Every structure is written in structure tokens, then in C-alpha cells.
Chains A and B, each alone.
Chain A
Amino acid sequence: MREYIPQISKLLNGVLDGLPFLLPEFILATTFLLSIFSGISKGQSKVTWWLSVTGIVAAGLAAVLQSSSPAAGPVFFEMILPDANGALLKVLIGFVCLLFCIFVYHNQPLRNHPKKMDDLLSVLLAVHIGLNLMAIAVNWLMVYITIEMVSIGSYVMVAYLSRDNKQSEAAVKYVLFGTVCSAIMLYGLSFFYGYTGSLSFVDARHLTGLLAMPAPVFMLATLLVLTGIGFKLSFVPFHFWSPDVYQGAPTPVTAFLSTAPKIGAIVLLGRFVLSWPQTLDTAIPRPLFYLLAVIAMASMLVGNLVAIRQNNMKRMMAYSSIGHTGFLVMIILADVERSFPILFFFLASYVIMNMGVFMLADYLEEKLGLTEISQYRGLGKSHPAVMVALTILMVSLIGLPPTAGFVAKLLTFSAVLTAYQAEADLVWLLLAVTGAITTVVALFFYFKIPLQAFLRSAAEQSEQKAPLNALLITAFLLCLLTVLFGIFPAVVLDLL
């Protein structure tokens, strides 16, 4: 023990130097503790809701401050790297959490639940902390902890209502699949640790150690680790849970799961892939690169082709989000220098589109009881504003101008083609072609909705007029944002 005593002050200083960079997380942790106390009170009190919103906004502002004064290098003994990119992603994650709060507030099943929505908001805050840390993690220990933090919170969120068979089934499938994937990941990580003696993937010793590993062991360990990240991202072949969970979970939770954990997980994958320096002797190993390229192509193909057969709105969106994951992986691989602005723009537009679609879908489900796309027939006449907004969002999801989705896909394709010109590797061309083909395929299922709503007439004209509420207004604002970002993409791109 005695030989460690001189080290203590150095270790303490290391901790103290890192603390200022965790300001957003401190705010969230305090809010989390307060929200537990405020949730005890009986009756329909809105204290917790306001508390959560204030906490999330304050944490977001702290993250904005952080983006202007990023850390020079990894802090907390190479656990986290609070750089400017990470701070911007924290803001985006905070934005998703804020939209989720608004969403929950207007969801009757969640509000009328005997446990109220207070506990759900506390869980949300905990997941928010996990996601924030995931966006800046550069150490496998941190990666594992954040993945588990987010996963355990998400299991509770999916199981929160458990009103009927389907909701409890979604939760049990999610929790079993998720814990198996994280156990497999942990086993893979133990090999990374064993062969390199280091857990930090910004550590040169770790990278050279990985390259020195025997090729079969390296591939096996990488596959095991990718299982855990793949579960969070739901790329092929770890996507089996997502359609069932998306369909069974309460709609606000589905909207959250399809966006926020994806931001965290893709950044994690990005930090791992981009941690390889671009010099030839330590570049990313080719087998790993090809593996990720195949995963990207398979995700785009499976997501978009299977979505055609779906009739349930939430199930279709699940496959659509698998397809978008393919694009995200493609961006990560494409252009190391320029990929962050593209990735951020893609994520921001994806968040806006998905949240908007789920808000409108929830509105239709709650007010009119419609869950299947074929039931949307004739809605264009009775609810024109809702259906026009949904159509604009669908246009954006396909990637047609003048929407944010178009700019995001355009930037992606140009990055991939630039990489093809630089390297002349056939795999780039294959990626670009797969992306283009699946975009065309996407036309068929996204346009089923406007087709049903505007071109088919309803069997009986329902005179049910649904009232305008804040949820609908938020969805319209998101819809406006997709068009705004589509026409003036510089609004977002200049931030970076």
C-alpha cells in the first residue's frame, strides 16, 4: 500500500481537473435526485415535469457553453474526451429528451397511469446522463457502463405501462435480447483488454496491441464487441428486437428509442473507427472496414425491403430506422475529416423527422384509434393539416427535396463518392449504389401513407374533429424545421 501514498495527490488532481467538464451531467444528476422526491407527492402534480424540463434545458445550456471551451485531451484518466463535437451531440440529445417530455405530457395512457408520469421522467433523466456520457466516452469501461445505463433505463421505459399482452411482450423481448448482447460484448471486451493491456481506445498502446493480435482472435473479439453496439444501433443482423419493441412500446417511448440511443451508439462506433490514425501502418484493419461496409449495406437493404410488407405504422418506422442506421454507418466509414458535420446534420434531421412522425402517429392513434396504415384512408379530407404534415415528413424520410432528409442524403452520397475517387475501392461504389437503390425502394412504402390519405376515400366519412393541442403544434413546428433545414442547410452546418 505504502508505494501508492505519493500518488494520491496526483490522482486527486487528475479527478479535480476533469470535474468542470461534467457540468451538464451534474445538473442532470441533481435534477434526477430532486425528481425522485417531487415524484412522491400524490395527485396530478406537474412539479416533476417542470423540474425535468428545467434540468434538461439547463444541462443543454451548459453543454452549449462547453462546446466553446472543449478539453484539450481526454480527462479522468482517459475515460472521457469532452470535445466540441461531444458537446454539440449533448445538445442534440437534450433536444430529444425535451421533445420526449412534451410527448409524454400529452399522452393520456401515460398520464392516467397509477404510477403517473413522474417515475418515467426520473428514468428519462438517468438515461439522459448515460447518453451524455456515451457521446464523450473513449474507454471501453465507460462504453460498457453507459450502454448498460441507457439499456436498463430503456427496459424500464418500455415496460412502464405493461397494460396488455403486447406491451409486456415487447419489454421481455427487449430485456432478454439486450442483456444477452451486452454479456456477449463484455466477453469480447475482455479479449481486447487481455491482448492490449489497455482499455482506452485513444491510447496508442491499445491500437498497436489490437493490430498485433492474431487475426482470428481479433475478428472474433471485434464481432463480439460489435454485437453490443449493434444492439443499441439495431443494425443487421442485430435488428430482430426492434420491430417488436417499437410496435409494443408506448408511442412516446418508441419515438425516444428510435432516436436518442442511436445518437449515442453511432458516436461510440464513430469514435472507435476514427480512433485509428490515417497513417498506413495503423489504419483501420481492412477486414473490420469491409465488415462494417457489409453491415451498412445489409441494414439499408433489409430495413427498406422488409418495410414494404408492413402495415402497422410503428413497425414500418422500425424498419425505416434500421435502413437509416445503414446510412449512419456509411457516413462513419466515408470521410474521416469531414464526417462529423455530415453525421451531425444527418442525426439532427433524422431526430426531427422521426419525432414528428411519431407525434402525428400517436395523435392519430389516441384521438381516432388508428394504428394501421390501411386505416388512414380518406383522412386527407377530414384531417388535412395532420396528413399534409405527415406527407412532408415522409418526403423528408425518403430524401426528396426540399427537405432536410434530402440534404442529409446528398451530403452522405457526396462523401461516399469523394471517398471512391480518392481510394478507387469498389466497396465505396457498392455502398453508394445500395444507398441509391434503397432510397428508390423507400418511395414505395413511405408514399403508402399519402396514397391512402388523399387518393383513397374513406368507407364512411368520420365527422370526428380532433382538437388542436400542443403536441400537434410541436409536430407542425418540427415539420417546418425539416423544410427550413432543407432550404437553408447552412443554419445547422455553420454551427460546426
Chain B
Amino acid sequence: MISLTHFLLVSALLFSTGLYAVLAKKNAILVLVGIELMINAAVLNLVAFGRYDGGLYGGQTFALFAIVLAAAAVAVALAIILNVYKHYKSINPDDINDLKD
């Protein structure tokens, strides 16, 4: 029997994997992949919790909005990464470091 706890565990795993990909930051695209994993962890949580929301479907609605907004944000992010590649010829966040104190 799959219970709510299982969903929460999977989403926690997803979230941690995503956070690791973001913090390791070897490549800007991989950071975006990590962000996508983190958003999906949240979406999984929302849908799993939404199961217990009697008749209102607040969680599922939220999940739909979150998916759409994440796609929009990632589209803009990809365009900006493409732009930065034109100037730096690299998308490793460690190389992109002209602005500092």
C-alpha cells in the first residue's frame, strides 16, 4: 500500500537531488535541470496533499500553475544563458565572474 509518506519521501529525495545539482553548479544548464527537479518535488507534494483536500482541489490547481510558470521561467533562463554564452564562450557559472566586490 502506497501511503502519503512514500510520496513525501520521493519528493524529498527529488528536492535534495535538485538542490545538489544547483549547489554543485558545474554548468548553467545543469542548474536549470536541478531547479526543474526541485519544482517537480514541490508539485508531487502538492498533488499528494491535494488527495486529502475534500472537493476543493487546491493542491492540484496549484500544481498546474506551478508547472506552467516553471516552464516560462526556464524558457527565459535558457535565452539568457544563450546570451551569456555569446559573450563568454562558456556556461560554467564559475567562469562567469566579472562582477564582484
Interfacial residues, chain A to chain B (CB-CB below 8 A): 140-141, 144-145, 148, 151-152, 155-156, 159, 162, 164-166, 168-173, 175-176, 178-180, 182-184, 186-187, 189-191, 193-194, 197-199, 243-244, 247-248, 306, 309-310, 315
Contacts and interface: CB of A to CB of B under 8 A. Distances in A.
Given A152-B72, A187-B41, A248-B99, A168 B77 contact: no
A171 B83 contact: yes
Nearest to A155: B76
Nearest to A187: B42
B99 A190 contact: no
B73 A179 contact: yes
B82 to A, nearest CB: 10
Contacts, number: 138
Interface of B: 11, 15, 18, 22, 28, 31-32, 34-35, 38-39, 41-43, 45-46, 48-50, 52-53, 58-59, 61-62, 65-66, 69-70, 72-74, 76-77, 79-81, 83-84, 86-88, 93, 96-101
B46 A193 contact: yes
Contacts of A315: 101
Nearest to A185: B42
Contacts of A244: 99-100
**Could you tell me the dominant secondary structure of chain A's interface residues?**
helix
A191 B96 contact: no
Nearest to B44: A190
Given A144-B65, A244-B99, A247-B99, A179 B46 contact: no
Nearest to B12: A187
B98 A169 contact: yes
A171 B32 CA distance: 14
B62 to A, nearest CB: 5
A136 B76 CA distance: 26
B41 A144 contact: no
A169 B80 CA distance: 9
A141 B57 CA distance: 12
A410 to B, nearest CB: 32
A166 B97 CA distance: 9
Nearest to B85: A168
A441 B86 CA distance: 42
A193 B79 CA distance: 33
B28 A176 contact: yes
Nearest to A248: B99
Given A141-B61, A145-B65, A168-B87, A186 B42 contact: yes
B85 to A, nearest CB: 9
B49 to A, nearest CB: 4
Contacts of B100: 244
